[in-house]
Structure 1
Amino acid sequence: MHIRNSLWLAAAVVLQAADFYVAPAGSDSNPGTLQKPFATIERARNAVRDAKRRQPNRNYVVMLRGGVYRISETVVFTLQDSAARGHTITYAAYPGEKPVLSSAAAISEWRREGHLWVADLPTSLKVFRTLYDSTGRLPRARSAPFSPTRDYRTAEGLDRYTLNFPPGKLKNWPNLEDVEIMIRPNYGWILNLLPLESVDEQAGIARTKIPASYPMIRIRWGLRDVNAKGTVWVENTLDALDEPGEWVLDTRRRKLFLWPRGGKPEGIEAPQLTELIRVEGEIDYEGPADRPVRGLVFRGLAFTRCDRWPWEKDRVGSTLQHDWDMFDRPTAMLRLRGAEEVAIEHCRFFDSGGGAIRMDLHGQRNRVSDSAIEHIGGTGILLAGYGPGTKDVNKHNEILRNHIHHAGEILWHSPAISIWQSGENRVAYNLIHHLNYTGITVSGRIAWTKDGRGDGWRTIRWHEVEAAGGQAVAFAPGKRPEWKLREPFLHGRNNVVERNEIHDVMLKLWDGNAIYVSGTGGGNKIRENFIHDCMSENMCEAIRCDDDQHETVIERNIILRSGGMGTGVAIKGTNHVINNFIIDPEGVFQPRGLISLEGAPVDGSIIQRNVMLVSKPGLRPFFLKNLIGPPDPRYSDVQADFNLFWHASDPAWADAHLSAARAEGREKSSLVADPLFVNPETGDCRFKPGSPAPKLGIQPVDLRKVGLKFAARF
């Protein structure tokens, strides 16, 4: 059954009486009725299993009464929990009530020591990396920032375990095994949290237990004054516990130190899990096919207070692009791993240390809709299929009408929505804002190597790639084959990212975008999105096709007040930029062009029917430069025409560009004229009477059809 039909059925059955009920004050010895509900989701799950044996071909509904459900072991749904074909099994909130699933355990026995309070850890708690009170997540004690003493000019031979630090910044603390450094290593697009192994205070050298993403040196390029401001912090030391709300965990002494926000600790809780619910099919990792769980619906549930999954030494090379997330790991509160036709709707994910939702490996026709994701430490929603090969089984999913904000609060690089090796998905009508890095990513960037270096190299399914034969594997060691030869193994193709509203992203990290596509398959469409008020100097471009990306269509997007380079759209390959509206950008860092061609070749790219409206000096219509070295892209290699240029205070702004382009046979029909938008300051790009845009074939975009249209239940 198609997921849309499943959702319709789910919505209908929720209005009926449930088969079983669960309540925090219930008992698993009860029959699970409204009057005598179960206490746990596991007991209800098992009751449904029993009922299915008697009546398999029908829908089932479990209703959860309001209140907090304390979960100390991940609730797992397996093949025996699948719905029959054409049916659903729904776990839903009781009408008008709010069930909350939490992994947090209370810490209640406190004693005062000066301005701090100390508690002995309950036996149920071991290591945890986040802590909560009644208002939300509490900040772990963090030092003032500093920068490494070495940079790229002095880093030869330096491994990824070594940090050279200024005098006095690191010590051999008594709880060294609990201390982590938070670092932006070498590049501006990543943040690492790494446990310390040793500190040589006299030599100014520290070693970490796991490697950083890059050498732990000063950031090489891109960020103004970033090294002077500091790129390293130390977390979880008593020396750094200097503000209300902060805390330190000492696992050796099994003590928790807290400076409470109020006069004394109240409602302090620590997480026990990183996953609350996992839907787990039968995964045959090396084989060609899996057996997915089908037909589950989660509706109206809230998920909160889970922990951050730590980085793992033996997972190096099993990560997604630039270590933005881990491959096939339990990093989210609700995880689908081998699932089809699962619906997550009207749910809320909040106040947690890791991600909200992830769909790993086999995931098809699943849907996340009308949900809220807020104040989490990691990625909002992640779709991550198998690595490059012929097993293409993560696709046809939908992410619709969700409100995602303040994600990546701990791991700053975490996007709101991330699609990796997953194709033919639809991401639409979402509202995304207040992120430290990129809004939406579609990626497949992989280091095509067997030598243990680079992003995601362990995920490549070499037995499948090599079995495909032919030219696909005919490349020199250390050099990846051409994109066309790899594209059949890059499954992030034919995704549609449309009608999303994105604002206030790129607040802390650098070299990112509102929407980012890189190193993945062809046929992706980025259309009719409204990107506005991303004026951070950290912003590079609003929409970017980065390295190794081709055959992407970027069309009918409205880009209003974008900062960074002042670039609306950037491409580094053969991609198409059509009918976009780039309005009033500002190059607050390094001004480039409203449309940037940043790699070569760009042969066959279509750049047509775009409107560029500016009011400030410093930006060019186009920027043409290969950012990784010659040769530079040539405008004569693109099909450019029917574009409309207007600078409110400089009518000659586009003359130089048009003169050079027309000498090469390009931009012959393009115009310099006021597009006469209805209200460009609000992004209303409909045209007033007399606009020259329709004569060029430029179509307006109706903002009333863009963004979050239906409020989430919470």
Structure 2
Amino acid sequence: MFHFHVAPSGDDTWSGTAERPFATLERARSAAREAGGDVVVHLRAGTHLLSRTFELTAADSGRDGRRIVYQAYGYGTPEQEEVVVSGGRLITGWQERDGVWVADVGDLDTRQLYVDGRRAGRAAIPGIPGVASATVTGYVTDSADPRGWHSPGDVEFVYRGIYPWTEARCGVAGVSAEGESTVITMAQPAFGWAAKLYNSTWEGQTSSGFGLPTRIENDAAFLREPGTFVLDRSEAGRHVLRYLPRPGEDPERTWVVAPVLETLLRAVGTRNVSIKGLVFADATWLRPSRAEGFLHYHGSGYYEGGDVETAVLGEGASVTYPVASESIPACVTFEDVAGLEIEGCRFTRFGASGLGVAGAEIVVRGCDFDSLSGGGIVVSGGRGISIEDNWVHQVGLEYSGSPGIAVSGAQGCTVAQNEVADVPHCGIVLGSGEGARILRNLTVDTMRVLADGGGIYLSGPQGSSREDEALVQGNVIEDTRTPYNFGLYTDYGASWVTVEGNVVMRADNTAVLEVAPPLENVVFRGNFWDADPIGHDNPPSGVTYEGNVTLKDEQDMNAATADIRSRAGLLRRRAGSRTPRR
């Protein structure tokens, strides 16, 4: 077996030994290619700054039964070192002006900032000042305040609740005076696309387009709350970063990092590689800052123009939706890989989703996902994927529709013993696929921001018979927060699913049996609820409802479900080893 070492203080002209480590992952990758056998690349303590995406290809595979391992030095032992792989840039040269830290940052472009490891929010106000109304190209208000915005072209409007499950973003093109009124012109094509995409009728009320914003971000005039920042890009190549510090922070001692790279690690076609014990941190996603904005529809999907269709939700109720959509990317991605293991890693401080897996065979085990603008783990296609013993929390911080774990189009995917907590929408999402196993997971405090979802949410066909159906078993779903949710939600034509031995508590609704398109070949058996599911007393023809128990008293519920609850959630928390980072 070959061993190579990489350290921030190393040198790529050295031999890669423990005493003379390489400086970069690229040099270690080259050495691993040349070795031709089992290889372990040990990353030493510190921050390994990436100037470009670290790429793994088929040439970086373990061959003939061998493996290539990239791991933190001492992985799995008490001496394991803290290793951070970062796509960020340390901000220095601060000047203090009227209590605000100001730095000239050249051509830096980012949507996030981290101060001593803590996420700083973009400075914001709650909406358009004054009495405002929408126009064909934007808005008009009787307030003169928007004319005082320092850099209108960097201002972004946020629209929460266009549909109950939707939150969109659109930039400002300009601000001007028209008599005593102020005209706000919005960026195109985003504003025009919104009028095409968002059209709904509900209880006799019809709406079209964005409506009024619920939040406005990123201008120096909004810097009022400590711990917030603004990036002014009004002068090309002379961008200015402003930060309003929290009490006790000092520009000489405080570590301020702006994420620069959009992808830290990309593996395509790679075989038999393990990645263990690494912290992946500090990446951004700039696409929402473009003139196309971020026209969210549902989950991680957003609109890029094109045709829309109308979904009829009931008598007198309908919404339009995109025929095709794109998905929020991940900052670490694996495509068409096999025999891959991701173990004991942390994915944090990202401006998009954490880990993206497409058309792959991979195991993701014992990892933490936190402080992410998008979702935690996103799987699209592939077979034999295992997602187990991962802790996903504080995700969807910028894109509130993002689920903790999402799987679609996969065959034989297992999502087991994970804990998903403190997320703005769904905890675990299962789209159409075949033979999925959703087992003994714990979801807590889901659906904190947007509505119409659940702690566990399934939609579409999940197989073609009992032999290849989806099994949702032994999960505990607690505290599904917003109104208009279903803790355990089989939706939109879900078929060939068995939902068995789960516990649902403190949801707006525990479950629903009557949806459109209807459920087919769905079995609810032996579940415990603290309130009866909607439609339980007259299940539709496609649903078998048997042996389920409703216990409205919490003490009775806890006693009856103690065994299920003891088995759900993180294995490592119960084992007392590698406990999650709080």
Matching of residues 279-290 of structure 1 within 5 Å: 279-280=267-268
Q: 1:113 to 1:516 in 2, by over 3 A?
A: same
Match of 2:313 in 1: none
SS of 2:493's equivalent? coil
**Alignment partner of 1:310 out of 255, 270, 287:** 287
Could you tell me how far apart the structure 2 residues matched to 1:314 and 1:117 are?
A: 29
Partner SS, residue 293 of structure 1: coil
Structure 2: 5+ residue runs without aligned partners? Answer: 75-79, 204-210, 304-324, 464-468
Aligned to 1:55: none
Alpha carbons of structure 1 residues 317 and 250: separation in structure 2 relative to 1, 3 Å: closer
Question: Are 1:26 and 1:38, in contact at CA under 8 Å, matched by a contact in 2?
Answer: yes
Q: Secondary structure at the match of 2:487?
A: strand
Contact kept in structure 2, 1:379 and 1:417, CA below 8 Å:
yes
Alignment of 1:18-417 (within 5 A): 19-52=3-36, 58-95=37-74, 96-121=80-105, 123=106, 125-145=107-127, 162-164=137-139, 166-168=141-143, 170-171=146-147, 173-184=149-160, 186-199=162-175, 202=181, 204=183, 206-211=185-190, 214-215=194-195, 232-253=214-235, 254-261=239-246, 262-265=248-251, 266-280=254-268, 292-311=269-288, 321=298, 323-324=300-301, 331-360=329-358, 362-364=359-361, 366-385=362-381, 394-417=382-405
| Contact 1:185 1:219 (C-alpha < 8 Å) held by counterparts | no
Tell me what 2:567 maps to: 705
Q: 1:422 aligns with which of 407, 410, 421?
A: 410
Return 369-378 or 301-310, whichever deviates more.
301-310
- What aligned pairs does 1:552-701 form with structure 2 within 5 A after superposition? 552-562=497-507, 564=508, 566-572=509-515, 573-585=519-531, 593-596=532-535, 602-615=540-553, 680-682=556-558, 684-685=560-561
1:238 to 1:174, Cα distance in 2 relative to 1, 3 A: closer
Instruction: Pick closer, same or farther for the CA change 1:685–1:148 going to 2, 3 Å.
Output: farther
Q: Which has the higher contact order (CA 8 A, sep 6+)?
A: 2
Aligned to 1:509: 450
Residue range with higher mean Cα deviation, 396-405 or 247-256: 247-256
**Aligned-pair distance for 1:99?**
0.7
Contact persistence 2:172–2:184 (CA under 8 A): no
What RMSD in Å do the two structures reach over aligned CA positions? 3.3
Letter of the 1:347 partner, please give it: C
1:671-713 Cα shifts (integer Å, max 9, x gaps): xxxxxx9x53536426xxxxxxxxxxxxxx5333221111446
Aligned length: 523
TM-score (norm 1): 0.67
* Alpha-carbon spacing, 1:100–1:708, altered in 2? closer, same or farther (3 Å): same
Q: Counterparts of 2:289 and 2:245 in 1: how far apart (Å)?
A: 31
Q: Equivalents in 2 of 1:246, 1:317: separation in Å?
A: 22
| Distance of 1:516 and 1:217 partners within structure 2 | 23
Question: What is the one-letter code of the residue matched to 1:680?
Answer: D
1:614, 1:165 → 2: CA distance? 51
Distance, in Å, in 1 between the alignment partners of 2:297 and 2:387 is: 20
Match of 1:529 in 2: 475
Aligned AA (2:19) = Q
Asked if the contact 1:145/1:233 (under 8 Å) is kept, the reply is yes
Instruction: Give the match for residue 307 of structure 2.
Output: none
SS in 2 for 1:552: strand
TM-score (norm 2): 0.82
How far off its partner does 1:175 sit?
2.0
Pairwise CA distance, 1:179: 1.6
CA contact (8 A) 1:187 1:221 kept: no
Structure 1 pair 329–413 and aligned structure 2 pair: CA distance change class (3 A): closer
- The separation in 2 between residues aligned to 1:417 and 1:83, in whole angstroms, is 28
Provide the residue aligned with 1:443 in structure 2: 431
| Contact 1:141/1:238 (<8 A) preserved | yes
Which digits, 9 at most, give the CA deviation of each residue in 1:569-595, with x for residues without a partner? 44522242432434334xxxxxxx524
Q: Give per-residue Cα distances to partners, 1:230-288, cap 9 Å, x unaligned.
A: 852111111211111111111123111111123433211111112111102xxxxxxxx
User: Does structure 1 retain, via aligned residues, the 8 Å contact 2:288–2:294?
Assistant: no
Distance 1:275 1:330, change over 3 A: farther
Q: Provide closer, same or farther for how the CA distance between residues 167 and 538 of structure 1 changes in structure 2, counting only shifts above 3 A.
A: farther
Contact 2:272 2:338 in 1 (8 A): yes
- 3-state DSSP class of the match of 1:568? coil
Is 2:528–2:561's contact at 8 Å kept on the other side of the alignment? no
**Counterparts of 1:120 and 1:372, CA distance in 2:** 34
For 1:242, the aligned partner's letter is R
8 Å Cα contact 2:40-2:71 kept in structure 1: yes
Question: Which secondary structure state, in structure 2, belongs to the residue aligned with residue 234 of structure 1?
Answer: strand
Whichever residue aligns with residue 493 of structure 1, its letter is E
The structure carrying a bigger strand percent of its residues is 2
CA contact (8 A) 1:211 1:313 kept: no
What's the offset of the Cα at 1:350? 1.8
**Structure 1 residues 315, 114: CA separation in 2 closer, same or farther (over 3 Å shift)?**
closer
> Residues 81-123 of structure 1, C-alpha deviation per residue, up to 9 Å, x if partnerless?
01114221100111121111111111110112112121111x4
1:148 and 1:337 map into 2 onto residues whose CA distance is: 49
